[in-house]
Amino acid sequence: MSFNTFGHLFRFTTWGESHGPALGATIDGCPPGVPLDAAMIQQWLDKRRPGQNRNTTQRNEPDAVEILSGVYEGQTTGTPIQLMIRNTDQRSKDYGDILNTFRPGHADITYHQKYGLRDPRGGGRSSARETAARVAAGGVARAAIGAAAPGVQVTGYMVQMGEKKIDRDRFDWDQIAQNDFWCPDAQAAAEWQDYLTWLRKDDHNSVGAIIEVVARGVPAGIGAPIYAKLDTDLAAAMMSINAVKGVEIGEGMAAAALTGRTNADEIFMGNDGQPVYSSNHAGGILGGISTGQDVVVRFAVKPTSSILSPRQSITMDGQPTEVVTKGRHDPCVGIRAVPVGEAMMACVILDHILLDRGQTGGVRGRIG
Alpha-carbon Rg for the chain, nearest whole angstrom, is 21
- The answer to whether 89 contacts a copy of itself (rule: CB under 8 A) is no
| CA–CA dist 253, 239 (Å, integer) | 15
Q: How far is the CB of 4 from a copy of itself (least distance, A)?
A: 5
Q: Of 169 and 257, which has the nearer Cβ to a copy of itself?
A: 257
**Residues in 297-336 at the binding interface with a copy of itself, rule: CB under 8 A:** 298, 300-307, 309, 311-314, 316-320, 334
Q: Judge if the upstream peptide bond of residue 226 is cis by omega within 30 degrees of 0.
A: yes
**Residues in 207-226 at the binding interface with a copy of itself, rule: CB under 8 A:** 207-210, 220-226
**Is residue 29 packed enough to be buried (19+ CB in 10 Å), middle (13-18) or exposed (0-12)?**
middle
Q: How many angstroms separate the most distant Cα atoms in the chain?
A: 71
Q: How far is the CB of 185 from a copy of itself (least distance, A)?
A: 16
Site size toward a copy of itself, by CB under 8 A = 163
Residue of 218, 276, 286, 208 lying closest to 246 (CA atoms)? 208
Q: How far is the CB of 116 from a copy of itself (least distance, A)?
A: 4
- The answer to whether 231 contacts a copy of itself (rule: CB under 8 A) is yes
One residue of 51, 62, 80, 217 binding a copy of itself per CB under 8 A: 80
- The answer to whether 58 contacts a copy of itself (rule: CB under 8 A) is no
- The answer to whether 47 contacts a copy of itself (rule: CB under 8 A) is no
Q: Is 56 annotated as a binding residue?
A: no
Do the Cβ atoms of 298 and 211 come closer than 8 Å? yes
Q: Of 189 and 355, which has the nearer Cβ to a copy of itself?
A: 355
Q: How far is the CB of 54 from a copy of itself (least distance, A)?
A: 18
Do the Cβ atoms of 184 and 212 come closer than 8 Å? no
- The answer to whether 184 contacts a copy of itself (rule: CB under 8 A) is no
**Residues in 111-150 at the binding interface with a copy of itself, rule: CB under 8 A:** 111-119, 121, 124-126, 130, 148
Q: How far is the CB of 103 from a copy of itself (least distance, A)?
A: 9
Piece in contact with a copy of itself (CB under 8 A), picked from 47-55, 57-65, 161-169, 181-189:
161-169
Q: How far is the CB of 326 from a copy of itself (least distance, A)?
A: 14
Cβ of 196: how many Cβ atoms within 10 Å? 22
Q: Is 150 annotated as a binding residue?
A: no
Q: Is 243 annotated as a binding residue?
A: yes
Do the Cβ atoms of 316 and 120 come closer than 8 Å? no
Do the Cβ atoms of 360 and 289 come closer than 8 Å? no
Q: Of 186 and 255, which has the nearer Cβ to a copy of itself?
A: 255
Piece in contact with a copy of itself (CB under 8 A), picked from 42-50, 57-65, 88-96, 273-281:
273-281
Task: Return contacts of 99-102, CB within 8 angstroms, 24+ apart.
Answer: 100/315, 100/316, 100/317, 101/313, 101/314, 101/315, 101/316, 101/321, 101/323, 102/313, 102/314, 102/315, 102/316
Do the Cβ atoms of 141 and 256 come closer than 8 Å? no
Q: How far is CA 324 from the centre of its chain?
A: 28
> Any idea what the Cα angle at residue 280 is, between residues 150 and 249, rounded to 5°?
80
Q: Which residues pair with 76 in a beta bridge?
A: 71
Q: How far is the CB of 296 from a copy of itself (least distance, A)?
A: 11
The residues, any chain, with a CB within 8 Å of residue 261's CB and separated by 6 or more, are none
- The answer to whether 28 contacts a copy of itself (rule: CB under 8 A) is yes
| CA–CA dist 354, 9 (Å, integer) | 7
One residue of 50, 122, 138, 288 binding a copy of itself per CB under 8 A: 288
- The answer to whether 39 contacts a copy of itself (rule: CB under 8 A) is no
Report the binding-site residues for NADP(+): 48, 54
Report the binding-site residues: 48, 54, 125-127, 242-243, 287, 302-306, 328
Report the binding-site residues for FMN: 125-127, 242-243, 287, 302-306, 328
